[in-house]
């Protein structure tokens, strides 16, 4: 259990250090960077919604075909 906890703490600290270094080394201003990150996040969420909607439609079609009475 201690090893897992230590591993998770290491991941957390590493991600914080990595993100801090990335922000400090960024060639753009903070406002521009935040705007880009916001746009990318919204684009990513739109892609996820589109994919989820497509998958939902596909699965509903399969479910309806399974619920349909079978011909013998």
Q: What ranges do the domains of the chain cover?
A: 2-67
Mapping DSSP onto H, E and C, the string for 6-71 reads HHHHHHHHHHHHHHHHHHHHCCCCHHHHHHHHHHHHHHHHHHHHHHHHHHHHHHHHHHHHHHCCCC
Give CA 15 to chain center in angstroms.
Answer: 16
Question: How far separated are the first and last CA of the chain, in Å rounded?
Answer: 57
Q: How confident is the model at residue 56 (pLDDT cuts 50, 70, 90)?
A: very high
Q: Output the pTM of the full model.
A: 0.51
pLDDT in tens, 1-53: 778 888 999 999 999 999 888 877 877 777 887 888 899 999 999 999 999 99
């Amino acid at each position: 259990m201690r090893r897992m906890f230590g591993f998770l703490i290491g991941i957390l600290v590493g991600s914080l250090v990595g993100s801090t270094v990335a922000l400090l080394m960024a060639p753009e201003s903070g406002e521009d960077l935040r705007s880009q990150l916001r746009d990318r996040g919204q684009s990513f969420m739109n892609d996820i919604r589109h994919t989820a909607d497509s998958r939902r439609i596909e699965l509903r079609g399969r479910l309806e075909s399974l619920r349909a009475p079978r011909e013998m």
